[in-house]
Structure 1
């Protein structure tokens, strides 16, 4: 399904709190029968109800409109080469869904289905977070109350960050790739997101009009939520729920985006040294083994409950329908990108499927390169990996001329050695950024990295500048018509 019912077309969530979300798979949450929902006041009147609601919020992270598909896939498609390019450098879209084709070709309008449903469903999750936070006084146990608040604020901060990166220009204040150097207004003058921290419980609440805050104000709220989560969350947890090192890792990602390199470096270093996580022996196992030692947090899926296996889901779009896959083969990898990996690099191409993270697809659209990262609808989705912390530490140490924790060369080679790639003899900023390209390919990193560092998407005459309006998603037309989320983004 690619449409959203009219009753859900709101910036804010309805007053009913859906407590069965943790049991739902695919995108069936758009077709819930009335008897499956209970009034928020009833659901959140007990500690058990609040905990159930938080479990439902976790479940919503797996929605196809969220981390289940779109927060990764749409970012990847924004980094896709245009079909008119003379040289293809990354990926291309071969699928039949017009909404995703528009994203990949940078031809979106304000009624693009993916921009619409991604905005809508993630803001509904944010409102469910607000409902949980509003109900905290009913939780008597101090430890439970603190943990619930930490988890809820972690999720809210994460979603505001993801939406800000998709629906606003990048935040950069200093250095060669600052907002000024990129030719875009300062964060204080750049539109961010509509920020709503109040739970909407009534029709009057839902009828409020919320304009866009500045990008500066948006990031202030993101940092407030994630910093609070860092202090509130338990020191250690399993990989299915957030702990304080997840908050530190995500904060390192946010501070890197902001260009606050010393803070990003120190947070990444702390996660590396103290979280207890360790790199897997294989690059492939990160995406084939659930809850491995390298993953700080991942979205939990299984064969029954997942983001989708026909019209949604990462494996649906990225994998071929070779034996054991069953994907659509919609996203192809261009040979020029695969060639950037060395011959023995597990992250590159190997003709034996499963021996590396790039393979040649068979069946539908046979003969094109695919990624093995998303190979099964029921696999977990890694969101925070230790390898990211090593490469954040490497980049920030190099930019700052420091060697906190290790030299940039040691950290980059740590990632390359794990992948069976040839170690580098020396490292530059360009080689660190390329290592991020290689390590995080097809995980939704590329467009955000290119925008924050001022690099064009694509090559030659088809290259798109980092500050191009076409690399920013449109605010859905229905929000503009309702008077919310103004002003609209440039170009729409």
Structure 2
């Protein structure tokens, strides 16, 4: 990881996103050219979101690791890296895993530099409220980054200070999983009072933090807090509600609907790379992966998928190939990346309530999602049947998002559902290049 930590502040400021991922770490630029006033601070905030949405993070690779691992997506192309993932033969030199790790840490480094620099700036353009907002966004996105590292790789190195020279942030050992998650909560807690209580589906606000906390508390099995924070969003019906029918949040070039709590926006110059891997060649994609027969059957079953069948389509004869169409837009690559939707908050609260013995209200939350999809209401009446129903609902609600694999790991269901009994495979390998670059970094067992 240290080669990533040596990126200097000016490099972190750049907003071209994908182009600056290739900057060599030894390049050094005087800090006076970096964040020095309000306009450069604003550019750096934009750069932070571009880091989050880069091809290697939410723009393609990190979600792909989850849905390619989850058992419902088949590899159909020529690349070896996704083949390793779907075949469950990951190695520590897998390019998808390596680039995701690198992109997440680059997002953290960008946040660190903003947190260090913005409070020191004196510029009339930067009011106290605006400084607070920027710091709140940086804390929240650093929290999301460490959350993703924790659920992907386990305990990781906690880099909490800006990197100015190659010797900064060296020799840091991996923290435990509990300590990594503790840092996530610390950052979310710091972010909340700094942010406005507004609705913005493309930028972090206090409401975004509440949604991320609901997810965090679910992963930590803190059911009361998960229920409380999910309710903050669900109860704000003027801002967040399930769109009907299901495809209303993505069809016909829809963006920033009431379905979205936080989605990353893309443009013709800053593209979401998912379309390239999902769409068939006739639609200018490569169709390197596709829904497998099991998922196609589930989505096309009116009693299971309901109108979520709109997530998939079939090419014309003689091909007759199923493909995913969540990412499809013109211009190509301008689809949002969905970080968290209100449907997830309903299912988080349903699970938390089931765990707390609140079966009636848990069922109501589950059925809100099912009703939106046009399927019959569930009759699950016990904790066990509710939890299984929620798991099955997630499978058809979020098949092309960052959900399936991580939730099966979280609930301890991956062995029963996917037949993976080697617990070493429940976390991703630390990239070999990072191990070689940093003697303080240790590999996960089994790799």
Structure 1 residues 103 and 13 mapped into 2: Cα distance closer, same or farther (>3 Å)?
farther
* Partner in structure 1 of residue 312 of structure 2: 358
* Partner in structure 2 of residue 199 of structure 1: 162
Report the Cα offset of residue 147 of structure 1.
0.5
* Partner in structure 2 of residue 60 of structure 1: 51
Deviations 1:213-247 (A, max 9, x none): 11111011011111211221110042221111111
1:486 pairs with 2:444: no
What are the within-5 Å matches in structure 2 for residues 46-445 of structure 1?
Answer: 46-80=37-71, 90-140=72-122, 141-168=127-154, 192-205=155-168, 208-274=170-236, 276-288=239-251, 289-307=254-272, 313-322=273-282, 325-341=283-299, 342-343=301-302, 345-349=305-309, 356-362=310-316, 366-376=319-329, 377-402=333-358, 407-427=361-381, 428-445=386-403
The DSSP-based 3-state class of the residue aligned with 2:298 is: coil
TM-score, normalising length: structure 1: 0.82
Report the Cα offset of residue 282 of structure 1.
2.0
Structure 2: distance between partners of 1:362 and 1:200:
53
Structure 1: distance between partners of 2:58 and 2:162:
23
* Partner in structure 2 of residue 12 of structure 1: 5
Report the Cα offset of residue 339 of structure 1.
2.5
Unaligned 5+ runs, structure 1: 1-7, 81-89, 169-191, 308-312, 350-355
Report the Cα offset of residue 346 of structure 1.
4.5
Structure 1: distance between partners of 2:29 and 2:196:
30
Contact kept? 2:13, 2:110, Cα under 8 Å = no
Q: State how many pairs are aligned.
A: 430
Structure 2: distance between partners of 1:21 and 1:282:
39
Contact kept? 2:214, 2:230, Cα under 8 Å = yes
Contact kept? 1:93, 1:332, Cα under 8 Å = yes
TM-score, normalising length: structure 2: 0.89
Structure 2: distance between partners of 1:116 and 1:357:
29
Structure 2: distance between partners of 1:20 and 1:236:
26
**Structure with more of its chain in helix, by fraction:** 2
The DSSP-based 3-state class of the residue aligned with 2:202 is: coil
The DSSP-based 3-state class of the residue aligned with 1:22 is: coil
Structure 1 residues 257 and 484 mapped into 2: Cα distance closer, same or farther (>3 Å)?
farther
Structure 1: distance between partners of 2:416 and 2:172:
36
252-261 or 104-113, larger mean C-alpha shift: 104-113
Structure 1 residues 458 and 331 mapped into 2: Cα distance closer, same or farther (>3 Å)?
farther
Structure 2: distance between partners of 1:212 and 1:150:
25
* Partner in structure 2 of residue 42 of structure 1: 33
Report the Cα offset of residue 15 of structure 1.
1.3
The DSSP-based 3-state class of the residue aligned with 1:205 is: coil
Contact kept? 1:319, 1:361, Cα under 8 Å = no
Unaligned 5+ runs, structure 2: none
Structure 1 residues 317 and 251 mapped into 2: Cα distance closer, same or farther (>3 Å)?
same
Structure 1: distance between partners of 2:188 and 2:31:
26
Structure 2: distance between partners of 1:44 and 1:128:
11
Structure 2: distance between partners of 1:362 and 1:457:
37
Contact kept? 1:290, 1:380, Cα under 8 Å = yes
Report the Cα offset of residue 482 of structure 1.
2.6
Structure 1: distance between partners of 2:45 and 2:401:
26
Structure 1: distance between partners of 2:190 and 2:183:
10
Contact kept? 2:9, 2:113, Cα under 8 Å = no
* Partner in structure 2 of residue 452 of structure 1: 410
Structure 1 residues 234 and 38 mapped into 2: Cα distance closer, same or farther (>3 Å)?
farther
Report the Cα offset of residue 199 of structure 1.
0.5
Report the Cα offset of residue 484 of structure 1.
4.5
Contact kept? 1:151, 1:233, Cα under 8 Å = yes
Structure 1: distance between partners of 2:437 and 2:28:
26
